[in-house]
């Protein structure tokens, strides 16, 4: 019997996913938080873990869980079940170690289909998401990231974390003006008109800045 752990903080989602997966013959355990999910996965060593990405106070906290499970329980195949349809988020989940990604507003059959693919050791990604992720990864500006200085990479990383000019200046121990000048130079380099556009760019490419 295939063992599954579902990690999600929404009771209705947990019950629905459990019912669908149990109908396939799987033995399913639930976890309603990141900590409980991590402990359950390490304790039961499931064949498949179905993980949400967003938890109270930890937006995209599921990404960190995926990375930890990948290191501590590499035999467990992970798939994401999330409302996040942003291809940048999908790409980050795949880079962290997920091999499947299903949107919560997809038909119920998609969750089962994805689970069966992942259980068999095959990746699963909705066709539209796969195309969007491929286009994102083909963005020629990604190659320009390799030419950034360590300070420029740090500025973009902090922007992706939601930091403002003052917080970035404090982190780098430089002046506020130095940070604004650096961001202006980065906007010009990547053809972006506003700080908001630069921040969104930093979020999309957060995985490339590590």
Q: Each residue of 85-138: pLDDT tens digit?
A: 888 788 888 888 999 999 999 998 999 999 999 999 999 998 788 877 776 665
- Per-residue confidence (pLDDT) for residue 138, from 0 to 100: 56
Phi/psi for 82 (5° steps) reads -145, 160
Nearest to residue 182, comparing CAs of 154, 142, 140? Answer: 154
Under 8 Å CB-to-CB from 115, ≥6 apart: which residues? 4, 21, 24, 26, 48, 50, 79, 100
pLDDT at 162 over 60: yes
pLDDT tens for residues 77-90?
A: 999 999 988 887 88
178-192 mean pLDDT: 91
Angle between helical axes of 150-160 and 165-172 (0-180°, round to 10): 140
Q: Is 84 exposed, middle or buried (0-12, 13-18, 19+ CB in 10 A)?
A: buried
Strand partners of residue 49: 5, 78
Give the integer Cα–Cα distance in Å for 104 and 13: 9
Give the integer Cα–Cα distance in Å for 154 and 71: 25
Quote the DSSP letter at residue 206.
Answer: G
- Per-residue confidence (pLDDT) for residue 40, from 0 to 100: 97
CB 20 within 8 A of CB 31: no
Sign of dihedral through CA atoms 121, 46, 81, 139?
A: negative
18-37 mean pLDDT: 96
pLDDT at 139 over 70: no
| Alpha-helix residue ranges (DSSP H) falling in 47-106 | 61-72, 87-96
> What are 178's two structure tokens?
């130095």
pLDDT at 170 over 70: yes
E strand or H helix that includes residue 42 = helix 34-44
Confidence of residue 20 (pLDDT cuts 50, 70, 90): very high
Torsion of CA 73, 1, 21, 17, to 10 degrees: -40
- Per-residue confidence (pLDDT) for residue 88, from 0 to 100: 77
């Amino acid at each position: 019997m295939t063992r599954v752990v579902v990690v999600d903080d929404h009771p209705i989602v947990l019950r629905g996913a459990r019912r669908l997966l149990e109908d396939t013959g799987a033995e399913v355990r639930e976890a309603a938080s990141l900590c409980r999910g991590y402990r359950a996965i390490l304790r039961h060593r499931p064949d498949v873990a179905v993980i949400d990405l967003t938890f109270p106070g930890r937006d995209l906290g599921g990404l960190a869980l995926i990375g930890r499970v990948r290191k501590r329980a590499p035999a467990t195949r992970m798939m994401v079940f999330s409302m996040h349809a942003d291809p940048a988020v999908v790409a980050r989940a795949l880079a962290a170690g997920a091999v499947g990604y299903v949107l919560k507003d997809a038909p119920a059959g998609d969750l089962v289909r994805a689970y069966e693919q992942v259980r068999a050791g095959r990746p699963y990604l909705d066709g539209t998401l796969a195309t969007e992720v491929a286009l994102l990864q083909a963005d020629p500006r990604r190659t320009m990231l390799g030419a950034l200085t360590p300070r420029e990479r740090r500025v973009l990383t902090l922007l992706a974390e939601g930091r403002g000019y003052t917080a970035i200046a404090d982190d780098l121990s430089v002046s506020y003006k130095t940070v604004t000048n650096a961001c202006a130079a980065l906007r010009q380099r990547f053809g972006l008109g506003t700080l908001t556009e630069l921040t969104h760019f930093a979020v999309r490419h957060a995985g490339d800045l590590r």
